Amino acid sequence: MNFQKQILWFICALAPTTLLPAEPVEILSYQSIPSRIKNGNPVLAAAHFRIDEAVGRMNQSGRLPNPSFETGTDHNIQSAEGSIEIGFSQKFPITNRLMLEKKISAAGVEAAAAEVKDVERLLVAEARAEFVKILSIRERLALLNRQKTLSTELADFISSASERGEISSLDAAQARLAALRITTAERRLKTEETATLGKLRPLVGIAADTGVKLSGNVPPVSIPGTASLDRPDLKAAKIDLMAAGTEIELETARKRDDIEASIFAAGERTEDAPNGLENEGIIGFKLSIPLPFWNDNSGNIEEATARRSRKEMEVKALEREIHHQGQTALTEMRQWAALVSELDQQLLPLAKEQTDLLEEAYRKGQGDLQAVLSSREQTLELLASKLDATREFRLARIRYETSRGNF
């Protein structure tokens, strides 16, 4: 009976661990990043309210001010004489000021939409860069895992030969140390992977405790064709330039203040001796026209003119910056692609051949272990260099496509 209780307790102790759910994993591909950001990135979601703000400003612009209700009364304290007046007044622009205000605010809506698109462009570029970095880290880990397997096999061979007295025991210890160095490199790369995943997850809307499986194809190491220019920030800058020109027209229209028209009705009681009190009614119209003697709005016109000049220079500067970004990224891609090709076609085949010859000679007792380990390390460095060059090519391609506005 005690034995059965012990078995039952043992099963209950194991149950929480065996029934724990597996870590959730989400599959992420290079191509799905834009839709992921569009649907799950909080920064982009917040940026979308810029459009709503601009729409609100547009709906408010171009409206007449509210009319005014006016009333007044007076009474003669020494007699029954008095009067009362009721009227309405409304200001009207004598220029096309309201239409210009509406035009500027409508341009603001277009600019806000372009700015939101630019936020999305930059977020996609950032997320894809982190995706490529994680992919590179995992490729390096796979490379180290293969190298560790080979090192372990060599260490086992040396240990067996050492036990038979064919090889020095120092060689076995040296081979084990080489395998441990690879394990240390693996831990460093896993730490880098954790940090990079920490940057990627919030960008694409993945929870912090969710694993990420990378899938799909990434762009190959080949120079892409010339992409069309579709930069939303450039579009927004050009819209702002157009709006700045309209602002000059608006400030010029504001040289003339609004006129004010009023209609009123008044009733008056007066004493007309010897006939007594009489009631009179009056209906009237008033028009107030401001005279542009002291304020011609010249300062605001100068400011608007200078603003348009600044916006024009900003557009030219941005166009120049876009050109330089694209050309620099394109040059980088060509250089990295040339390095990958050289590693693939020349250096790696030569290093592999040299390592195979040294290993074969060592296993036959005709070589030195240090030469074998050194050759393997050189081969590993070349393979790592290829992975690094591939990663840098992909990052340069992301920069090139981002500079053109393609994502």
Domain boundaries, the chain: 27-61+93-219+227-257+292-404
- How much is the pLDDT for 241? 96
User: 266: Cβ–Cβ under 8 A, 6 or more apart, which residues?
Assistant: 83, 84, 85, 86, 281, 282, 283, 284
Which residues of the chain fall short of a pLDDT of 50?
A: 1, 3-20
- How much is the pLDDT for 88? 93
* Distance in angstroms (rounded) separating the CA atoms of residues 38 and 261: 52
Q: Give CATH for domain 27-61+93-219+227-257+292-404.
A: 1.20.1600.10
Counted residue by residue, the chain has a size of 407
- How much is the pLDDT for 170? 59
- How much is the pLDDT for 20? 45
- How much is the pLDDT for 38? 93
- How much is the pLDDT for 14? 42
The closest alpha carbon to 396, from 316, 348, 340, belongs to 340
- How much is the pLDDT for 306? 97
- How much is the pLDDT for 53? 95
Q: What are phi and psi of 404, to 5 degrees?
A: -90, -10
* Distance in angstroms (rounded) separating the CA atoms of residues 291 and 395: 64
- How much is the pLDDT for 224? 86
